[in-house]
Structure 1
Amino acid sequence: MMMYLLGLLMLIPLSFKNFWLMQWFFFILSFSFIFNYSGFFQVFNISYFLGLDMLSYSLILLSFWICSLMILASVKLYFNNEYHNLFLMILVILLLSLYLTFSSLNLFIFYLFFEISLIPTLILIMGWGYQPERLEAGIYLLFYTLLMSLPMMIMIFYLSEKYYLTMFICMNLELASFFMFLCVNLVFFVKIPMFFLHLWLPKAHVEAPISGSMILAGIMLKLGGYGLLRFMLIFKQFLMNLNIFFMVICLLGGFIVSLICIRQSDMKSLIAYSSISHMSLVLAGIMTLNYWGLWGALLMMLAHGLCSSGLFCLANISYERIHSRSLYLNKGLLNIMPNLSLIWFLLVSSNMAAPPSLNLMSEIMLINSILSFSLFSMLFLSLMSFFSAVYSLFLYSYTQHGQYYSGLYMFNSGLIREYLLMLLHWLPLNLLFLKLEFLVQWI
């Protein structure tokens, strides 16, 4: 554990040396962390205030992988000399904060780095965003998170004083106060994001650079799910009476957001709203309080992190050539870039939970879980599933088919780097399900 922490700290001065060397170091860290896997579901690799279990391990690995791909997607910063050294340093600090958030055994350390991870993301959006509206998007992101996290900090001080509560040792403690529940969990509902608290997400995604969109979709939304999975043990008795309320909001909100997706004319905005729909399903699965729901939520978070990040990369590849994210201008790309159209199809099909993607496996588990909780949820689950296919196919057919935009007078085809970037998103997403037999046995 400490070895990776020291490795990340050593990368901070190295970020001012060589862009491509940093790219290699990030990938080496990712692959070495894969081989660090232990088959135990209990807490392992405990050192100082850090430790891992299956939940922490998988999300840290996702963080390493997405941050490695963020560098690969942001090579344009290096060629244009747009403060790429500063960008790399911020990326290392962001990865460091995520690593400590996901592996912390101490409640206050968890909260501290949970909040610190907001600052590098904010700098990415406001420093390398595309339009002046990025300032408004950054303020939305900042105030939504900070406003909801202050009650959590106060409640952590209270719990630490009264119960000496750590992150993992909370099995025997059961709190049954609505006020406590809201104080602790509101920030997670904002992060995941729950419908009604989701308005910061489309704004932040649309104004962020490609690296900002990737880290937001790939990791930052997962912080909310991770926090809820950790803290639900404290409130399990209380949630028995309250979870139906959150499930109704999630299923109804997921359906409404799916309809909003079909009305979007901006590619990044459409993909951002689809993230809200998928994470609504994750939150509903967590609120069922059963094994299928919890593991389905974890798998959906991993699948969504890879799939949504890949879709943002594809939208950025089109944007770099056409200089517009509008669906009305990004048309007929099948005529110009048929290779990338294949990758569009593969990732869009994964987004709508087509086999053999991890999305399908996780959606089956979540639908099982939610239906076992209440058969009445069948209506909205079927609508969400149907409209997920509708907006995914709408995105694909609108961008790839038809006659290409007549204003295009020059167009360069895909680069090897871009194909590698897409392959490194799609392969893990569609090969991970092959090793899920151990998970099914565990359930």
Structure 2
Amino acid sequence: MMKFFFFLIFMIPLCLLKNMFWLVQMMLFMLMFMFMNLSMTIDLYKNMSYMMSCDILSYGLILLSIWISILMIMASENLFKLNFYINYFLFNVIFLLLMLYLTFSTMNMFMFYLFFEGSLIPTLMLIIGWGYQPERIQAGMYLLFYTLFVSLPLLMGIFYLFNDLNCMLIYFLKFINLNMYMLYFSMILAFLVKMPMYFVHLWLPKAHVEAPVSGSMILAGIMLKLGGYGLMRLMIFLQEINMKLNYIWIVISLLGGFYISLKCFCQVDIKSLIAYSSVAHMSIVISGLMVMNYWGFIGSYILMIGHGLCSSGMFCLANISYERLHSRSLYINKGMMNFMPSMSLWWFLLLSSNMAAPPSMNLMGEISLINSLMSWSWLSMIMLMLVSFFSAGYSLYLYSFIQHGKYYSGIYSYYTGVSREYLMLFLHWFPLNIMVLKIDYSMIWF
């Protein structure tokens, strides 16, 4: 695992040279394929070096991080054209990838916390440095304070654990079962805000709307998954108390998911709609994790990977329209089928994946999560039906609103998609739908 770490470290000087924009991307492709060829077994930690190692959970999320980072660079060609601080931008992307890689691969609880918080800094830089509107400062503050406010209790909880058990390794904590209310809440809240759970989700739409396309992609693709990853790691030693309190989170998430789905129909900003749909998806993931059964666990994992690719792709599409029209309003982005018929196909493919149509990974994840929640209580079926129905509803609403209708008469000049954009969308959609063929790697763990 250290070899990939050093690979990223030695890529930093490359970012600071001139005309290295595409070379950095190619090097990340190389890193991606090297990492894909790691020998992985499903159940054990592998490739140990120092405090870093990798099991199937880390493996999938690290692959996703590298992949989204490659596509972030590909989506930000506009910065390259304008020569808008591209060296700093590349440095930011590499630094963020480094933080995420360390977060997912470290085995030490404190190091996990450190890199978990460290990934916030480059994200903040992306939003404040390359965002579009003056409100990006406020969005950055929201992001920072929501996350930091609940992170201090997590740090206290980690210190308490170390004081009590003299052990920080995540792997050894699975032999322990702690039944403490204060510890439970202090450990878990940071991840619920990061997910984000309903009631503490307000930072997400703000951050998404103000962020540049690369910021939105990494936020939707990876940052939301940090919360799920943390919960998966922590739930192991908080089992007993979670069984007492899990109904709180499940009820909040299912009701919140339904309410957010309705809120999607009220949005007039494309990015805002996609951001709210992310909150709805993550609410089902939280519910599945809190049920504490096998179906819920693997369903959350599959849906997190699927949503990372799908949501990121939709933000790319929103940005493609924004670069043409300089507006994200649904009322101005109408009748796009007249201008970009082939882009209509990509909108259709990614939005159909978003509403969990086969053969996407989202479908597999949602089937597992519905299974797990139904086994917990059949009453959850009511909310699940509504959330699933409305997720199809707002996806179709977005598609039909953008693609059909009379186009805005103020459009003076327009050009269709370029090959880079089609390639970028293909690289989102293809793994999202082809990985279903190898879904057994995610399904059969123990």
Shorter-chain TM range is over 0.9
Cα separation, partners in 2 of 1:110 and 1:439, compared to 1, 3 Å: closer
Aligned residue type for 2:159: F
Return the alpha-carbon distance in structure 2 between the equivalents of residues 223 and 37 of structure 1.
24
The equivalences for 1:261-340 within 5 A come to 261-340=264-343
Instruction: Give the match for residue 46 of structure 2.
Output: 44
Instruction: Give the match for residue 6 of structure 1.
Output: 6
**Deviation at residue 281 of structure 1 after TM alignment:** 0.4
Pick from 78, 81, 101 the counterpart of residue 80 of structure 2: 78
Pick from 378, 387, 394 the counterpart of residue 375 of structure 1: 378
Instruction: Give the match for residue 93 of structure 1.
Output: 95
Aligned residue type for 2:103: T
Instruction: Give the match for residue 391 of structure 1.
Output: 394
Aligned residue type for 1:59: L
Secondary structure at the aligned position of 2:53 is classed as: strand
Secondary structure at the aligned position of 1:170 is classed as: helix
Return the alpha-carbon distance in structure 1 between the equivalents of residues 300 and 420 of structure 2.
32
**Deviation at residue 437 of structure 1 after TM alignment:** 2.9
**Deviation at residue 343 of structure 1 after TM alignment:** 0.4
**Deviation at residue 164 of structure 1 after TM alignment:** 2.1
Instruction: Give the match for residue 15 of structure 1.
Output: 15
**Deviation at residue 441 of structure 1 after TM alignment:** 4.3
Return the alpha-carbon distance in structure 2 between the equivalents of residues 438 and 177 of structure 1.
34
Query: Does 2:80 match 1:68?
Result: no
Return the alpha-carbon distance in structure 2 between the equivalents of residues 355 and 241 of structure 1.
36
Query: Does 2:359 match 1:356?
Result: yes
**Deviation at residue 330 of structure 1 after TM alignment:** 0.2
Return the alpha-carbon distance in structure 2 between the equivalents of residues 177 and 427 of structure 1.
45
> Aligned residues: percent identity?
58
Cα separation, partners in 2 of 1:441 and 1:99, compared to 1, 3 Å: closer
Aligned residue type for 2:287: A
Aligned residue type for 1:16: L
Aligned residue type for 1:376: L
How many pairs align? 443
Instruction: Give the match for residue 179 of structure 1.
Output: 182
Q: Deviations for 1:307-327, whole angstroms, at most 9, x for unmatched residues?
A: 000000000000000100000
Cα separation, partners in 2 of 1:146 and 1:319, compared to 1, 3 Å: same
Check conservation: 2:334, 2:407, Cα contact below 8 A: yes
Return the alpha-carbon distance in structure 2 between the equivalents of residues 320 and 217 of structure 1.
20
Instruction: Give the match for residue 139 of structure 1.
Output: 141
Cα separation, partners in 2 of 1:92 and 1:402, compared to 1, 3 Å: same
Return the alpha-carbon distance in structure 1 between the equivalents of residues 157 and 208 of structure 2.
30
Pick from 228, 232, 240 the counterpart of residue 231 of structure 2: 228
Instruction: Give the match for residue 433 of structure 1.
Output: 436
Return the alpha-carbon distance in structure 2 between the equivalents of residues 56 and 86 of structure 1.
28
Secondary structure at the aligned position of 2:173 is classed as: coil
Secondary structure at the aligned position of 1:46 is classed as: strand
Aligned residue type for 1:186: L
**Deviation at residue 39 of structure 1 after TM alignment:** 2.9
Aligned residue type for 1:339: S
Check conservation: 2:42, 2:441, Cα contact below 8 A: no
Cα separation, partners in 2 of 1:439 and 1:205, compared to 1, 3 Å: closer
In the alignment, structure 2 segments of 5+ residues that lack a partner are none
Aligned residue type for 2:58: S
Q: What TM-score results when the alignment is normalised by the length of structure 1?
A: 0.99
Q: Deviations for 1:371-426, whole angstroms, at most 9, x for unmatched residues?
A: 01100001000000000011000000000011111110100110100000000000
Aligned residue type for 2:306: A
Query: Does 2:420 match 1:417?
Result: yes
Query: Does 2:64 match 1:59?
Result: no
Check conservation: 2:142, 2:203, Cα contact below 8 A: yes
Query: Does 2:211 match 1:200?
Result: no
**Deviation at residue 75 of structure 1 after TM alignment:** 1.1
Aligned residue type for 1:207: E
**Deviation at residue 189 of structure 1 after TM alignment:** 0.5
Return the alpha-carbon distance in structure 2 between the equivalents of residues 363 and 376 of structure 1.
17
Return the alpha-carbon distance in structure 1 between the equivalents of residues 80 and 409 of structure 2.
31
Return the alpha-carbon distance in structure 1 between the equivalents of residues 84 and 444 of structure 2.
50
**Deviation at residue 177 of structure 1 after TM alignment:** 1.4
Runs in 1 of length 4+ with deviation above 2 angstroms? 437-443
